[in-house]
Structure 1
Amino acid sequence: MFIKDTFVHTVYFWLKNPADIDTFVEGVKGLAQISQLRDVHVGVPVPSEKPIVESSYHVSLLTLFNSKEDHDVYQVDPIHQDFLANYVKQYVDRVMVTDSVDA
């Protein structure tokens, strides 16, 4: 089954200190309160021996929206802005973001 009519926003976080993962995950999970989100998944990498599998990040965030417009509202939501100021700036060394829509 294909997921249709969806804007997908995926974020990978590399932490300054991996020991902070529990605190950081708690902050990421707080984003689920934002009403524009359709679905949210917060994850950690699965160890893999395969060289093609990227597993150097510490935390991933997969968010699904009904539209790009919903995503844009999410970006400026006070909860998201608080997360950026109080978690990303404090705990994150590197971030990679991908956005995609239906092909």
Structure 2
Amino acid sequence: MFIHSVYFWLKPALSAQDHQTFLEGIASLTEIETVAHGYWGKPAATDRPIIEKGYSYGLVLVFKDQEAHDAYQVDPVHDLFRERCSPFWNRVTIFDTVQEA
């Protein structure tokens, strides 16, 4: 199993239309054929100092293996998301994890 976790820090002055475009785009990523499971949302309301809550949205995608992830990276839907939505964020951080057990 290959887990792709992405965290977006959106620009504070996004228009309502740009925000909606981002939400539609992030949702579209979960529908790509090689994605086994996909989840996205805002930071949870947990109140512990160790938890990073400064991001705007998180996306977690689960793939069967790295080959499925690599196919996702070149999928036209993913390319369109990056093209349309990358102007909307100041920062993006990605963590890729491979299940060992």
Instruction: Give the shorter-chain TM-score range.
Output: 0.7 to 0.9
Residues in 2 aligned to 1:41 and 1:18: alpha-carbon distance in whole angstroms:
25
Whether contact under 8 Å (1:37, 1:64) holds in the other structure is yes
1:98 maps to 95
**Unpaired stretches in structure 1, ≥5 consecutive residues:** 1-5
Whether contact under 8 Å (1:18, 1:58) holds in the other structure is no
Q: Percent identity of the aligned residues?
A: 38
SS at match of 1:38: strand
Residues in 1 aligned to 2:79 and 2:60: alpha-carbon distance in whole angstroms:
17
TM-score (norm 1): 0.86
Q: How much is the aligned-residue C-alpha RMSD, in angstroms? A: 1.5
**Unpaired stretches in structure 2, ≥5 consecutive residues:** none
Residues in 2 aligned to 1:27 and 1:68: alpha-carbon distance in whole angstroms:
23
Residues in 1 aligned to 2:42 and 2:20: alpha-carbon distance in whole angstroms:
11
Cα 1:62–1:18 change in 2 (3 A) is farther
6, 15, 35: which one aligns with 1:11: 6
1:38 aligns with 2:36: yes
1:63 maps to 61
SS at match of 1:24: helix
